[in-house]
Chains A and B, each alone.
Chain A
Amino acid sequence: MNHLPLIIKREYLTKVKNKSFIIMTILSPIIMIALISVVAYLSQLNNNKTRVISVLDESGIVKDVFKNSENTTYHILEKNMSLDDAKSKVEKSSNYGLLHIEKFDDMDTLSKHIKFYSEESPSLTLISGLESRIEKKLTNLRLQQKGVDIEMIKASKVNVNIGQESFEGEKTSKIDSVVKLIFGGISGYLLFMFIIIYGNMIMRSVIEEKTSRIIEVIISSVKPVQLMLGKIIGTSLAGITQFVVWLILGSILMTIVSAIFGIDMAQSPQQDMMQQAMENPDVNMQVQDVLTAFYNLPIANLIIAFILFFISGYLLYSSLYAAIGAAVDNETDTQQFMLPILMPLILAVYIGVFTVIEDPHGTVSTIFSFIPLTSPVVMLMRIPFGVPLWQQLLSLFILIATFILTVWFAAKIYRVGILMYGKKPSYKELIKWIKY
């Protein structure tokens, strides 16, 4: 008799109806959004404060580069004021700091004697901003001194961008690789998170029958394989439900919060810099490149592969958790088995980041994209670089076969485990059980 749908339904409903599950589902996005809002609000507060910076330019050659901006106002001090006077004046006022440029005839000496005085240590972005402005000005001045026409330099600048193309005519670029890396990284990270969050849930669900002692009643009506499979699928569905609710609730809350408080979540100090950079035609080109790189990805293949590998990978790891649950009587006994499960996952992420990017079709990457425990992450990272279909299918087949094998194995442990109440299983014992 096939009870699988019935078991899945029960597992799903008991999980979803569980009070703590409901509370977590609703509370998590609220807490997340609240945290993000607080951080965004605080950084905006910080950002909105206009900084006044006094500039004591004894040389008199750089002061014209300091143009007031939205967040920063420059207060140019009298040229012949002494440094001590300036310091005490700035200290008394609520100015952010004092930039002191000493007068030297030699440009090199001058550049080495620029100092910034302030109460607290100044922010990194501010200092580097000042540095680049002064640098640019001084460089131009020196070029002029040497009689070089700056306009000519600008005009004669050449930008080189080597276009990459495979023999099949597929165009790629440096930026492509980065986009691919990001895609692979996100998939791997998502899988990692999913397994950590929901793996335990599956394990607990498998132990449930033992702690409530209903196991013999259940196992006399249902085959352990069906029970395992039902538990894995039911719990996974509950996990996916929670995840989807999080996504939806999160985005709704995000919209509401930003509408009410007028906080533009996306706006951060970094964005200012981005905007500045955008005005630069070089960067603008790069953004274009990123977009084309994105469109160049084998999108359909990626999406299908992502869904298939994500689900199968998740199921495989779930079945490992189920096997642990099957082997032990209570949760405290599970600790010793946790590390070996997470290890291959961590390994997969490392291989993905360090090897696949360097050499996506090299031996190491290829081998690990077939080994079932690492393939969901490594293969997902390889696919954007173009993997032959047969390789993808083979890897997927191995993955699913391993999953089924693990469930079967977990069921076997489960059946034998019933007869060994209260005995803490060792690895040796487990191997013995398989032989029954």
Chain B
Amino acid sequence: MNNLLVTHSVSKNFGNFKALNNVSIEVPKGSIFGLLGPNGAGKTTLLRIINQITMPDTGTVHLDGELLNEKHIKDIGYLPEERGLYKSMKVGEQALYLAQLKGLSKAEAKTRLKFWFERLEIGDWWNKRIQELSKGMAQKIQFVVTVLHEPKLLIFDEPFSGFDPINANLIKDEILRLRENGATIIFSTHRMESVEELCDDITLLHQSNKILDGKLVDVKRKYKTNTYEIGIKTNDNAILQQELSEKFSVSKANFKTLDNELKLNIKLNKDDKPNDFLSYLTSKGEVSHFVELIPSVNDIFIQTVKNS
């Protein structure tokens, strides 16, 4: 079993509205899985189904090879996008309560909480009430509560919202560490740069359908267009540009250089090899810049959503 979580053609309707339409995803063990999609694509509904908050109309969900059932509650840690804490309860009491709901014993929960509170340097908050804390502080506690029972599957929905860059980084490091310790992570966000940085696999939902999925590198490979960004210094830039436009599709590139170089984006033809192209270029002048343009997740996202 290489996949920790598998959903098989899951559908969900709310009245006449189709929230999910035959969505199948496979989350490999030990990976960080990016669940992406524009607003209203059905991400939250899918996450709620995985958390057994709602039931799918059709389709199945398997966790670790078993059909999802009540005992899996303790195997999942969920940090929802809509989140909060009991305002009038003290931090420590509250964290203990939530940990016990996830099946930890009180003593065990206490030890682990002490550990985490120390690690995130929030030990002296234990007796504060939530209403005395800032939003970012409360978010930290929510993060701790989510991961405390060391679940196999962690689900983070916009985990960085409300954090300053320093704390966001801290949480990012913790997420990476959790993966190293064997957790599988589903990560839903609109911040593409963090997807780029963290995710191994991605799935893109749009209007209740899955429109894209796979390993991030595979997806990028698929979406790359064999385009290179070049900078070259010749005696007459215009002649070379003319020559290149005849052979390839060419557009202007924008990047900063020191000299007055010819800067172009060049899309190679299907069978062209980058090496051949490079030696061709060097024969024409002094190459100062030669980079393959790899599509960013952001580009892929926008492109796929627009096209579908």
Answer yes or no: are A and B bound together in one complex: yes
Q: Which residues of chain A have a CB within 8 Å of any CB of chain B?
A: 1, 3, 6, 10, 14, 18, 208, 212-223, 415, 418-419, 421, 432
Q: Is the CB of B84 within 8 A of A221?
A: no
* Of listed A18, A219, A415, A421, residue having the most chain B CB within 10 A: A219
* B24: interface (CB < 8 Å): no
* Contact among A14, A216, A220, A421 for B76, CB-based, below 8 A: A220
Query: Which residues does chain B contribute within 8 Å of A415, judged by CB atoms?
Result: 53-54
Query: Which residues does chain B contribute within 8 Å of A213, judged by CB atoms?
Result: 82-84
Q: Is the CB of A219 within 8 A of B101?
A: no
Query: Which residues does chain B contribute within 8 Å of A6, judged by CB atoms?
Result: 97, 100-101
Question: Within the complex, what minimum Cβ distance (angstroms) separates B52 from chain A?
Answer: 7
CA distance A67 to B97 in the complex (A): 75
CA distance A136 to B271 in the complex (A): 131
Assuming the contacts A1-B70, A216-B78, asked whether A10 and B53 have C-beta atoms less than 8 A apart, the reply is no
Question: Within the complex, what minimum Cβ distance (angstroms) separates B26 from chain A?
Answer: 22
Q: Is the CB of A220 within 8 A of B78?
A: yes
Q: Is the CB of B102 within 8 A of A221?
A: yes
Q: Is the CB of B74 within 8 A of A1?
A: yes
Contact with A along B76-106 (1 / 0, CB 8 A): 1011101111111100000001101111000
Q: Is the CB of A217 within 8 A of B80?
A: yes
Q: Is the CB of A212 within 8 A of B85?
A: yes
Identity of the chain B residue whose Cβ is nearest the Cβ of A213 in the assembled complex: B84
* B280: interface (CB < 8 Å): no
Q: Which residues of chain B have a CB within 8 Å of any CB of chain A?
A: 14-15, 48, 51-54, 70-71, 73-74, 76, 78-80, 82-89, 97-98, 100-103, 142, 145-146
Identity of the chain A residue whose Cβ is nearest the Cβ of B81 in the assembled complex: A216
Q: Is the CB of A14 within 8 A of B89?
A: yes
CA distance A10 to B85 in the complex (A): 14
Closest 5 CB pairs of A and B: A213-B84, A216-B80, A220-B51, A221-B101, A212-B84
CA distance A432 to B51 in the complex (A): 24
CA distance A6 to B53 in the complex (A): 20
Query: Which residues does chain B contribute within 8 Å of A212, judged by CB atoms?
Result: 84-87
Query: Which residues does chain A contribute within 8 Å of B70, judged by CB atoms?
Result: 1, 223
Query: Which residues does chain A contribute within 8 Å of B48, judged by CB atoms?
Result: 216, 419
Identity of the chain B residue whose Cβ is nearest the Cβ of A432 in the assembled complex: B15
CA distance A3 to B82 in the complex (A): 23
Question: Within the complex, what minimum Cβ distance (angstroms) separates B49 from chain A?
Answer: 11
Query: Which residues does chain A contribute within 8 Å of B73, judged by CB atoms?
Result: 1, 220-221
Assuming the contacts A220-B73, A220-B78, A419-B54, asked whether A208 and B98 have C-beta atoms less than 8 A apart, the reply is no
Identity of the chain A residue whose Cβ is nearest the Cβ of B130 in the assembled complex: A212
CA distance A421 to B82 in the complex (A): 11
Query: Which residues does chain B contribute within 8 Å of A418, judged by CB atoms?
Result: 53
Identity of the chain A residue whose Cβ is nearest the Cβ of B84 in the assembled complex: A213
CA distance A383 to B3 in the complex (A): 64
Question: Within the complex, what minimum Cβ distance (angstroms) separates B174 from chain A?
Answer: 18
CA distance A346 to B48 in the complex (A): 42
CA distance A223 to B85 in the complex (A): 18
Identity of the chain B residue whose Cβ is nearest the Cβ of A10 in the assembled complex: B97
Query: Which residues does chain B contribute within 8 Å of A214, judged by CB atoms?
Result: 83-86
Query: Which residues does chain B contribute within 8 Å of A3, judged by CB atoms?
Result: 100-101
Query: Which residues does chain A contribute within 8 Å of B145, judged by CB atoms?
Result: 217
Identity of the chain A residue whose Cβ is nearest the Cβ of B57 in the assembled complex: A436
Query: Which residues does chain B contribute within 8 Å of A223, judged by CB atoms?
Result: 70
Assuming the contacts A14-B86, A14-B89, asked whether A216 and B98 have C-beta atoms less than 8 A apart, the reply is no
Question: Within the complex, what minimum Cβ distance (angstroms) separates A231 from chain B?
Answer: 13
Query: Which residues does chain B contribute within 8 Å of A216, judged by CB atoms?
Result: 48, 51, 53, 78, 80, 82-83
Q: Is the CB of A217 within 8 A of B88?
A: no
CA distance A256 to B78 in the complex (A): 56
Assuming the contacts A1-B73, A1-B74, A418-B53, asked whether A217 and B100 have C-beta atoms less than 8 A apart, the reply is no
CA distance A421 to B145 in the complex (A): 24
Question: Within the complex, what minimum Cβ distance (angstroms) separates B13 from chain A?
Answer: 10
Question: Within the complex, what minimum Cβ distance (angstroms) separates B206 from chain A?
Answer: 20
